[in-house]
Amino acid sequence: MTPIPRPLVDTAPIVIEGMSMPTPGLDAYAEPWRKPEHDDLAEMARTFFLKEVVPHAARLEQQGHPDREHYLKAGELGLLGLSVPEEYGGGGGDFTHEAVLLHEQTQTGEGSLGLAVHSGIVTGYLAAYGTEEQKRRWLPKLCSGEMIGAIGMTEPDGGSDVQAIRTRAVRTGDDFLVTGSKTFITNGYLADLLILAVKTDQSAKAHGISLLVCELDDAAPGFRRGRNLEKIGLHANDTAELFFDEFRVPAGNLLGGPDAENTGFYQLMQQLPQERLVIGVGAVGAMQRAVELATAYAKERTAFGKPLIGHQNTRMVLADCVTRTRVSRVFLDDCIVRHARGELDVATAAMAKLYLTEGQCEVVDRCLQIFGGYGYTTEYPIARMYADARVQKIYGGTNEIMKELIARAL
């Protein structure tokens, strides 16, 4: 009797490109915060990304920004503002729901919609600091997708040293006149609502910063969008320059109301841990997808008469990568649980951003290697993932700044 050949690994799930499938070594793990409602949300989000957006990926990459219709469709499905209270048009959930959405976006390979900023960051600022009037005015439109949100901190002269920003807002009657420029603004080409970091007291550093909520209208005097920047990755998501020359913003748009003037730095520092966690969610999603894609390829492709996964080096690399991914998920979940309790401190969030994005770049690079020459061609998603990963070590505060923050807490 011919012996039945033993499979090279015990379980061999077939990975369909873009689909979130079980991964040996990963699917045995369940997030401690996960409930059935998160599974329902994950399924809805995955279906939306795969059916509505991913089929347009090539065109979106070409145009350099997402389609507004996709924001509106996401809003219709209730996928925007998942953590925003229902009374303001949101889903009434918490950060775990945003994390599920972002994980599915990464897992499906959807890279156009700037949801990490729109939902993961901008709505958070409004919900945390907005006056009642401000929340009622802007949150429903962000949740429906009528408005696209962005946040502007970085300036051409520097991003790491937020205290040194130069964009100034001078009070004249009932308005602020804003003059200056911002660069690298995610969603900046399409954004309708911008949380803008400005200096309201030129003589002060951190204590002179305020956040203004700007409704962006291309016809408004004093406002101009610059280039939609060409990048090595994230081609389908817009990253733009914004210019202000005595741009008029009503004083009522000061985030948090009149008493919040010059408290912007404090507001930013309070929200940055969540921004770093959002980046970490994307990092772990990308690691998981890279491992899935590389595992499937290694089972399919043969060299020297056997599948790649039959060669010891491939097995060792995948074992390293899946272990790194699993450990990263556990750390990320610990941070998510801390954040849900309001206890995620600056240093721990910085550790998450540092460790998870370094892990993403390493895992994606090692998985790309398994694809050989095909891994370098953009026809294979792993190549795009490689280019997309690099910026994770730069934005949200560079990883060097993360080390500073961690070291300061020692």
Among residues 228, 240, 260, the alpha carbon closest in space to that of 130 is found at 260
Q: Is 314 near ligand FAD (CB under 6 A)?
A: no
Instruction: Examine residue 392 and tell whether it contacts ligand FAD (CB under 6 A).
Output: no
For residues 347 and 401, which CB has a smaller minimum distance to ligand FAD in the complex? 401
Catalytic residue among 155, 261, 275, 292: 275
Q: Which residues is 209 bridged to in the sheet? A: 199
Choosing from 20, 105, 123, 154, the residue that interacts with ligand FAD (CB under 6 A) is 154
85 contacts: CB under 8 Å, gap ≥ 6: 92, 127
- Return the structure tokens found at 119: 């939902």
Minimal CA–CA distance to 290: which of 321, 326, 314, 329? 321
DSSP class of residue 111 equals -
How many angstroms from the chain centroid is the CA of residue 190? 17
Backbone angles phi, psi at 204, to 5 degrees: -105, 160
Report the distance separating Cα 346 and Cα 329, nearest Å. Answer: 19
For residues 278 and 370, which CB has a smaller minimum distance to ligand FAD in the complex?
278
Decide if residue 158 touches ligand FAD (CB under 6 A). Answer: yes
What is the footprint of ligand FAD within residues 246-265 (CB under 6 A)?
none
Out of 49, 122, 397, 405, the residue judged to bind ligand FAD by CB under 6 A: 397
Q: What is the token pair recorded at 156?
A: 């051409």
Binding of residue 395 to ligand FAD (CB under 6 A): yes
36/295 Cα distance (integer angstroms): 28
In angstroms, give the least distance from the CB of 234 to ligand FAD: 6
Annotation says 362 is catalytic: no
Min dist. Cβ of residue 405 to ligand FAD (A): 10
What would the two tokens of residue 300 be? 């399919």
- Shortest CB 231 distance to ligand FAD, Å: 6
Contact 36, 336 (CB under 8 A): no
Q: Considering the rule CB under 6 A, would residue 394 count as an interface residue with ligand FAD?
A: yes
> Out of 13, 39, 400, 408, which residue is the one contacting ligand FAD (CB under 6 A)?
400
Given a contact cutoff of 8 angstroms between Cβ atoms, the answer to whether 184 and 239 are in contact is yes
Contact call for residues 222 and 379 (beta carbons, < 8 A): no
Interaction of residue 239 with ligand FAD, rule CB under 6 A: yes
Q: How far is the CB of 403 from ligand FAD (least distance, A)?
A: 8
Name which position in 151, 211, 349, 354 contacts ligand FAD (CB under 6 A): 151
Q: Which of residues 38-97 bind ligand FAD (CB under 6 A)?
A: none
Size of the site for ligand FAD (CB under 6 A): 22
Nearest-CB residue for ligand FAD: 159
Q: Which of 175, 173, 174, 163 is nearest to 201 (CA)?
A: 163
Residue 391 binds to ligand FAD (criterion: CB under 6 A): yes
Q: List residues with catalytic annotation.
A: 275
Residues forming the site for ligand FAD (CB under 6 A): 117, 151-154, 158-160, 184-186, 231, 234, 239, 391, 394-395, 397-398, 400-401, 404
